[in-house]
Structure 1
Amino acid sequence: MTKLKLGAVPDDKPFKISIELPASVHRDLVVYAEIHAQETGQPVGEPARLIVPMIERFMATDRAFAKARRSRRP
């Protein structure tokens, strides 16, 4: 079983996002959504729903970002 970094996607209010992705990134996002659905047993639906949790996870685990953010606080 694959251990993905992204956990369950919360069933939240719909959101609108407008972004252009390279075709290769979109293909990988679709595959990630398929694997995520297999791992969790819950279909993701639109792969774009993964973008926000992925960005949140990325920022939460980026040590340089956390350090820079702490240094900005008064």
Structure 2
Amino acid sequence: MSDLKLARIPDRTPVKVSISMMPDLHAALQDYARIYARTYGREEPVAELIPAILSAFLESDRGFARARAELEKEGAT
């Protein structure tokens, strides 16, 4: 086995998830998409924005990060 500088690339296979949401959340997401298009000059469908919104939320949640690190420690023992 060779010692490559690049680590093995993780699985990048998308996972499809279907959700139901309240009409007011759907309207807010549509508004977000319109504001996004106005801000960046590029339209993106709501379905493409949702994963980015969720990722940004999870990355900014420090409590989640701490709890997730604890879960990983528990799994390692």
Identify the residue that residue 54 of structure 2 maps to in structure 1.
Answer: 55
For structure 2, the residue ranges without an aligned partner over 5 or more in a row are 1-13
Task: Tell me how far apart the structure 1 counterparts of residues 56 and 63 of structure 2 sit (CA, whole Å).
Answer: 14
Identify the structure with the greater helix proportion.
2
Distance in 1 of aligned mates of 2:28 and 2:36? 12
Partner of 1:25: 25
The equivalent of 2:10 in structure 1 is: none
State the secondary structure of the residue aligned to 1:18: coil
Q: Give the TM-score taking structure 2 as reference length.
A: 0.70
Moved beyond 4 Å, runs of 4+ = none
Identity %: 35
Partner of 1:73: 72
Partner of 1:11: none
What's the secondary structure of 2:43's corresponding residue?
coil
* Structure 1 length-normalised TM: 0.72
CA distance in 1, matches of 2:17, 2:40: 24
1:42 and 2:32 aligned: no
Task: Compare relative contact order (CA 8 Å, sep 6+) and give the higher one, 1 or 2.
Answer: 1
Aligned length: 61
CA offsets per residue over residues 19-48 of structure 1, 9 Å max, x none?
10100000000000000011011111x212
